[in-house]
Amino acid sequence: MKWVYIEDIGQYNGQEVEIRGWVYNKRSSGKVRFLLVRDGTGIIQGTIFSQDKDFPLFRVFDELTQESSLIVRGQVRADKRAPGGYELEVKEIEVIQIARDYPITPKEHSVAFLMEHRHLWLRSQKQHAVLQVRAETIRAIRDFFNDRGFRLMDTPILTPSACEGTTTLFETSYFDQKAYLSQSGQLYNEATAAAFGKVYCFGPTFRAEKSKTRRHLIEFWMVEPEVAFATLQDIIELGQDLVMFILERVLEKRRADFDILERDTAPLERIKKPFPQLTYDEAVRLLKEKGSELVYGDDFGAPEETMLSEIYDRPVCVTHFPAKIKAFYMQPDKDRPDLALGVDFLASEGFGEIIGGGQRIHDLDLLEQRIKEFNLPADAYKWYVDLRRYGTFPHSGFGLGLERTVAWLCKLPHIRETIPFPRLLYRIYP
């Protein structure tokens, strides 16, 4: 008898198959027993019929508990009433283990309790749906860049220097030297872009931010493209294309998961290019009109990002931030050197920033000046300065935060559910 996955069950209508998985739920109705089994790819209903109340399979059924592991064998039968449109007429149940006192029951549990049992909470239907959307988003991102001729470049996790700012670095020992967990692969991407033209990296990044907001994780994943000779506008168009590609893919492939999450997808389906684009100055004026008390020159916080993103029915691109609030490597505007050629993409429905990027400084003297102004250790950035010394070129890139994007797609109130094992302030277990 063939072992098959539930997601492929439609290919085996009328055939006898084997399902390996766990008990999701069960119920009885007279002479029929209904057994819901999950295998990680889906859920199928198994039915057991008998006129004999002492039927041996009934006794096995009665012993089964939530999350007991088992192998179920039987015949596949199309049934529109069943979950997924197919059910299994059960002929045999092989019990692997009876799970006793499974802690996550149908009753309401606190967030703290669920986070403490994250390793088990992953099995619930809604958490499973969120992570299905995450997996599809990852596939979409890789397909987008691979299909456009970008080369995947793996950048270091351990680095000798900061990328985004020295106050959020995780310091560690590297034998007899100091090292830091990577905040971003960008600086290394700039080197690989000089070798390959257009590249991207995709992996975990770390920020030692003492933040407890619904939008922050200590460890999160970012995809970061870098394109040689690209301008700010080029990278804005690339970001728009990427967001649209992700949207179209998840709406096509993960519709059932959005249904489980009760996510109204209409706002996502209405999103079209081009995205609205406004400068920091224009954004500040809008915020003031909406009652914001933001001081000109300050960076946007979550309230400002939410306020702006609620104005539009699609992501909005904010450009030309004050240079003093952006990273040392950001190219200044030639007409207004006090402004940086950067961009933030703010997701719709109040979800705030999902992309941050811009054009990089390519002038040698200016970069060296900025490194001094930011009081950065010159020796640690010698290799980075070399990129301007030997064949410098205009270039641009951005970082898209995977977890924030998934939170937006699924319309989740907190980012902690977008990654299997979130690292939050004061939480590193499990």
CATH code assigned to 2-97: 2.40.50.140
CA 364 to chain centre: 36
In 3D space, the residue among 101, 92, 147, 94 whose CA is nearest the CA of residue 120 turns out to be 101
Asked if 205 and 220 touch (Cβ cutoff 8 Å), the reply is yes
Asked if 11 and 45 touch (Cβ cutoff 8 Å), the reply is no
- CA torsion through residues 278, 307, 208, 109, sign: negative
Asked if 37 and 72 touch (Cβ cutoff 8 Å), the reply is yes
Q: Please give the backbone phi and psi of residue 36, each rounded to the nearest 5 degrees, phi first.
A: -90, 120
Residue with tokens 């790819």: 41
pLDDT in tens, 327-359: 999 999 999 999 999 999 999 999 999 999 999
Contacts with 51 (C-beta within 8 Å, 6 or more apart), sequence order: 31
Question: What architecture is the 118-418 domain classified under in CATH?
Answer: 2-Layer Sandwich (3.30)
Residue ranges in the chain whose pLDDT is less than 70: 162-167
338 burial type by CB count under 10 A (0-12 exposed, 13-18 middle, 19+ buried): exposed
d(CA 333, CA 320): 8
pLDDT at 167: 67
Query: E strands, 303-363, where?
Result: 316-322, 339-347, 352-359
d(CA 407, CA 138): 14
pLDDT at 82: 85
Could you tell me where in the chain the CATH 3.30.930.10 domains are found?
118-418
Could you tell me where in the chain the CATH 2.40.50.140 domains are found?
2-97
8 burial type by CB count under 10 A (0-12 exposed, 13-18 middle, 19+ buried): exposed
